[in-house]
Amino acid sequence: MVAIESKRSIWVLYGLGLLLWSLPAFGNDQEMVFRNPSWAALIPFFISVALVAVGYLGSRIGIPTRIRWVLVFLGAIAGVVVAPMVYMEQVTVSKTEISQQTGLAFMPLTEGFRYDEVKMVRLTTTTTGRRQRTILIWEITYKDGNIDNFNPSDLWERNTDSIVPWLEEMGVLIVR
């Protein structure tokens, strides 16, 4: 009975950890951090489990061996690469800079800009792809005259309404 109580306690602590990690934004007067909710990383994880299970058990329902191996491989990629990628993505807004961390868990990519180097930021939209999907572009004009068209991550784009007032408070000129 003691083992069941300790397992239950571990699951409660694990659930609380996921809940705290999944808070969309937290901060103090120094910085604000945005993360994807924890359950978003569970989607590729469950897809991974389903693909691997169908791959291993597929011989019982007549799936050819090559297709079963492809399913196992795709399931492994979804579980090992995509799930951590979704879980680790974050946007950090501090008093000096804004940055986003995306990419693979073993090869993260950090992009952003420092406020003291920026003259103005223009928020525009453009369409892309065959479906003409509308995306948000941050057109960053630097003090040295360079212009950078920055395509923010989906996490950054979803939280733009919270990020823009913070940047304006830090002295960055935002034009919509």
- How far is 96 from 119, CA to CA, in rounded Å? 14
What is the per-residue pLDDT across 39-91, written as a single tens digit (0 to 9) for each?
888 888 899 999 999 988 888 888 898 999 999 999 988 888 888 888 888 89
CA dihedral 105, 27, 166, 30 (to 10 degrees): -100
Q: Could you report the per-residue pLDDT of 82-109, keeping only the tens digit for each?
A: 888 888 888 999 888 999 988 887 888 8
Round to whole Å and give the CA distance between 120 and 115: 9
